[in-house]
Structure 1
Amino acid sequence: MYNVLIVEDSKPILRNIKTLLSSLDLPLTVVATATNGEDALEELGRLPVHLLITDIRMPRMDGLTLIEQAKLIHPQLLVVLISGYSDFEYTRKALNLQVFDYLLKPVARQQLEEVMNRAIGQMNRHTLNETEMLNEIVDSSYGMMQLDEQFQHSPKLMFIVRKQPFAASRDEWNPETLQHWLSELFAPHACRVFPTYVPKQFLILVNGAITGIYSTVYECLESARRHLSIQGIEVTIGGQLQPAEPGKLPELYYRMTEILNEHQRIHQGAVLDFGVFFSQTGSEKETIEPVFAISFVEMIRGRKKEQFKLKLVEQLTKWSGENIRLADLERFVALLIDTFAHVISEQNTDIRLSLEESSAPLFGCESYADFSRGLLEWSEKCFEMLQAHNRKSGQEWFQQMDEYVKMNMYSPLSITDVAHKFHISPSYISRIIKKYTQRTFVQYYTGLKINEACKLMENRQEMKFKEISDALSFSDQHYFSKVFKEYTGYSPTEYKERLLVRQDKENKGIRV
């Protein structure tokens, strides 16, 4: 059933339209009437109205001004204009105000029924579209998003309520309990609470009429936060005192969620006026200082477990006093995950997934102190994994390094580069290479390059010696020739001549 407000200064015409509407078998109810625009605005602020039928020429406030003011209160309000033939210019202006249709005086039953049927069709489509869009946000396990008829077409304010991190878990943290306490606060205005796909986050829709109670969005949101806090439910809440356009509900919700992600703090609930953030330009994100982040990364790479532990305890204590943003804490843990995973095994993606899974429960701790203890214990286990990684057999290390070096024969590779790649010391690499090749790293790596040069001379005979030297990253052709003779006993020219003689004999069937 849709609510109708009729505004007409002529009482006979007003009674006629009301009587005709009542006689039609349509889901329409005349909830109020008015004889001028000022009284009509009061009714719009007091009642949920879906359809406004208004005259153009009226005392105190004409129909066009009423429509402009009404659209500010209720952007989705459907308006049907009553006009005479002499009011055509007014009618044309009204159509620019997105008036749905108009009725010519005197209003006939057939004309009224035809316009009302089309208006109902549009309101039905609007209701369906709004419900479908909200179902994109509301957790499907809760069931289909439902709004009662009275609430469907009312201007609605959108708030987001999220559980405060490191707050004790309570049975009260559910949509039914939140619905009870928020309905109590906002009564007599309608309020609906829906769980979203974001864990511990709820979508709150409140009848836009509450804007007449609170002077600022902060006052409204802080009242809600305190009301819930008294019940032992600690939250961060955000919103704006501007009705959300139904066609943009999902977009608005996701923008609000992003702001909430960036600005929620680890201690004490907070309120966020999203209207302030929407008006800001550029990035407002704060990040952990690079120097600070690098220090923890270097301690992990250097296996400095005790130093890491002392520094982490100090930093966690500092963050507690600063009431750091939750997003910064999440970024820091993500940095630790990335670094530990990279150092333990760059090639094994399962390691990173395992570290993510093991760290996830940290943010569900009931206090920041529990989180801090949990992070220290988690870090301890990560260092134990690093130690196990270092105990890998020398044969396994050599196989991995040998494969990596052979893939980089056409690059100027140093032992420091290999050490950085595998996160172990250059001296340890030297010992491994010496054990399995009986050569130093330079001799081993250079030998691989010379072997590759021999293959190029055999398979790419058109290549010049300088081209081979450059391809294998030797400093110059003279140095290449000198090293080549040291390793093969021949100069590149002598080696190629011997290669051609051998190939010639093979072609003639002479056994070499």
Structure 2
Amino acid sequence: MYSAIIAEDSKPILRNIQTLIQSTDLPVRITATVSNGMEALEYIKAHPVDILLTDIRMPKLDGLALIEQSRLVNPNLKAVLISGYSDFEYTRKALNLQVFDYLLKPVERHQLVDVMNRLVKHLHKHQRNDIDLFEGIVEPEFLSNLELGMDFFVEDKIMLIIRRQPFTREPEVGNFTQNVLQVCLTKACGPHGCWVFPALLSEQFIAIVNSSILDNYPSVHACMEALSSELQTEAIKVSIAVVPQPAGIQALVKDYGKLDTIMNEQLSVSGGLIDTMYSMPKSMLPSGEMEKLMGLFADMIVHRQKERFTILLQQQLLNFKSNNIRMSELDRFIWSLAEAFNNMDTHKNPRDRLRLVEEIRWLMNGESYEAFEEALLSWTKQNFDKLQDQNKKSSEELFRQLDQYLLQNIYSQLSIADVALKFHVSPSYISRIIKKHSQSTFVHYYMQLKICEACRLIATRPELKMKDVSEVLSFGDQHYFSKVFKEYTGYSPTEYRDARK
């Protein structure tokens, strides 16, 4: 429903126009009628208005001046001039002001209905175009049914991204939803306009707030704190990221990618509020130290130093928490352990990489940091026990070395002859060893490793294009890569990426 105001100093004409509009089935509601331009301008300043129908000659402020000043308040306002004059000078000024149409008195029903019909279609198309800007960001079904009033389009907005805080209990079913978040946001931001959209990414929401919210709070950060408090009353702990500078709809949509990157890069184990105007959590390790740390733990895995590994890991996890390490760094560290264990597994199936993705996702989704620590220590113990139970026969050791060599060259394109030359054996012997321990041919096994690496890249580097993944893994042709990927996983690369969100 679109809101309209009529500005006309002749009461009979005003009542006639109002009656004609109300007699139609058009989605237009007359929210105010006024007798002079100044009164109309004050109403437009205080209320969202879609359509202005105004006489040209009125006391205090004429129609053309009213349109010009109203546009400063609401640039999207659509105006229709009503006058008994067909003077060219008025028409020229109206064109300069981009008036939607011009009606001559006496206004007849068919004339008014024609103009209003075209105006409603124009407004709907314009608003739908703005809404469609959120395609690829907002959940598709929600977006297709989304209808927004004019108040969504009349002023600059502030965008927030909301996620469940890391290492917190998952909210009860029905709590962490668009409706619940909308209620809490309205409590924190009312009476200013605010909207919540479910994002395309799982368990992420986008909040849009009118910039006038800064009349209520000294800063956007204070508004975020109020929203966080409201959600905690619903037993929902969240992390919120925001770029606090207000912007138009198109600029906001462009900012979403930057804001999502900020959330991914800066979110720490304790969660909280992420604001580009405030200091971010710092990495506890200087540049290069994380690589040294990952190398130290990987070396203990290679040498099967279970007890030393466990003691140092317990110590390191405490350090991570006390220094509020970023989630991206913690995820990187856990993946390095997983890779080290996986590289030492002489009986592994290449599809185990998919299992690893799920295991790490489960570890990182703990209900508390303490639960995460306990689960990680248990998981590493299981992996050490598995390594210690493995029988180290000569063929198994060669297979392990072959597998490690193939993994090290996963981004190259090796032939069985290249591998045979490296290990000083015949290609047929390489083929027998691979077949014995993987039940696959050399080509099939190497391809499985490449597809598993593709799965990891898609899961951990969502910004990569499928063309880039194909090229970096030396497939050469993207269509061939997509075909092989589907043969091995049952999904196309795009379907797999969407399923991980």
Q: 1:256 to 1:145 in 2, by over 3 A?
A: farther
1:322-337 equivalence runs, <5 A:
322-337=323-338
Q: Find the partner of 1:270 among 269, 273, 277.
A: 273
Partners of 1:330 and 1:348 lie apart in 2 by: 23
Aligned counterpart, 1:314: 315
Q: Deviations over 1:344-377 (max 9, x none)?
A: 4699532322222112112221211221222222
Partners of 2:217 and 2:92 lie apart in 1 by: 40
Q: Which runs of 5+ in 1 are unaligned?
A: 278-283, 416-512
Q: 1:153 to 1:116 in 2, by over 3 A?
A: farther
TM-score by length of 1: 0.63
1:197-212 equivalence runs, <5 A:
197-206=200-209, 210-212=213-215
Partners of 1:185 and 1:360 lie apart in 2 by: 33
1:248-287 equivalence runs, <5 A:
251-267=254-270, 269-272=272-275
Partners of 2:73 and 2:9 lie apart in 1 by: 18
Aligned counterpart, 1:360: 361
Partners of 1:330 and 1:260 lie apart in 2 by: 14
Aligned counterpart, 1:299: 297
Residues 159, 242 of structure 2: 8 Å contact kept: yes
Aligned counterpart, 2:453: none
Aligned counterpart, 1:168: 169
Partners of 2:42 and 2:242 lie apart in 1 by: 25
AA of the residue aligned to 1:216 = S
| Helix, strand or coil at the partner of 2:119 | helix
Residues 161, 238 of structure 1: 8 Å contact kept: yes
| Pair 1:115 & 2:115 matched | yes
How much does 1:153 deviate?
A: 6.0
Q: Deviations over 1:65-106 (max 9, x none)?
A: 4244223xxx544344568521345334323xxx5x231554
Residues 194, 208 of structure 2: 8 Å contact kept: yes
Q: Choose 9-18 or 185-194, whichever is displaced more.
A: 9-18
Aligned counterpart, 2:482: none
Residues 363, 371 of structure 1: 8 Å contact kept: yes
Partners of 1:231 and 1:200 lie apart in 2 by: 16
Q: Choose 358-367 or 402-411, whichever is displaced more.
A: 402-411
Aligned counterpart, 1:28: 28
AA of the residue aligned to 2:230 = H
How much does 1:388 deviate?
A: 4.9
How much does 1:60 deviate?
A: 6.3
Aligned counterpart, 1:3: 3
Partners of 2:395 and 2:386 lie apart in 1 by: 19
Partners of 2:327 and 2:213 lie apart in 1 by: 31
Q: 1:47 to 1:200 in 2, by over 3 A?
A: same
TM-score by length of 2: 0.64
1:343-354 equivalence runs, <5 A:
343-344=344-345, 349-354=350-355
Aligned counterpart, 1:397: 397
How much does 1:211 deviate?
A: 4.9
| Helix, strand or coil at the partner of 1:198 | coil
AA of the residue aligned to 1:292 = M
Aligned counterpart, 1:227: 230
Aligned counterpart, 2:431: none
Q: 1:183 to 1:410 in 2, by over 3 A?
A: closer
Q: 1:153 to 1:270 in 2, by over 3 A?
A: closer
How much does 1:245 deviate?
A: 4.7
Q: Deviations over 1:440-497 (max 9, x none)?
A: xxxxxxxxxxxxxxxxxxxxxxxxxxxxxxxxxxxxxxxxxxxxxxxxxxxxxxxxxx
| Helix, strand or coil at the partner of 2:206 | strand
How much does 1:407 deviate?
A: 3.8
Partners of 1:327 and 1:128 lie apart in 2 by: 37
Partners of 2:162 and 2:417 lie apart in 1 by: 54
| Helix, strand or coil at the partner of 2:115 | helix
Partners of 2:37 and 2:152 lie apart in 1 by: 24
Q: Deviations over 1:402-447 (max 9, x none)?
A: 8979845998x699xxxxxxxxxxxxxxxxxxxxxxxxxxxxxxxx
Q: 1:366 to 1:86 in 2, by over 3 A?
A: same
Partners of 2:331 and 2:185 lie apart in 1 by: 30
Partners of 2:199 and 2:153 lie apart in 1 by: 22
How much does 1:321 deviate?
A: 1.8
Residues 265, 325 of structure 1: 8 Å contact kept: yes
Aligned counterpart, 2:101: 102
Aligned counterpart, 1:47: 47
Cα RMSD (Å): 4.3
Partners of 1:64 and 1:346 lie apart in 2 by: 77
Q: 1:230 to 1:141 in 2, by over 3 A?
A: same
AA of the residue aligned to 1:353 = L
Q: Deviations over 1:130-171 (max 9, x none)?
A: 565657544468796444757676656543321111122332
Residues 297, 336 of structure 1: 8 Å contact kept: no
Partners of 2:226 and 2:101 lie apart in 1 by: 43
Q: 1:148 to 1:197 in 2, by over 3 A?
A: closer
AA of the residue aligned to 1:185 = A
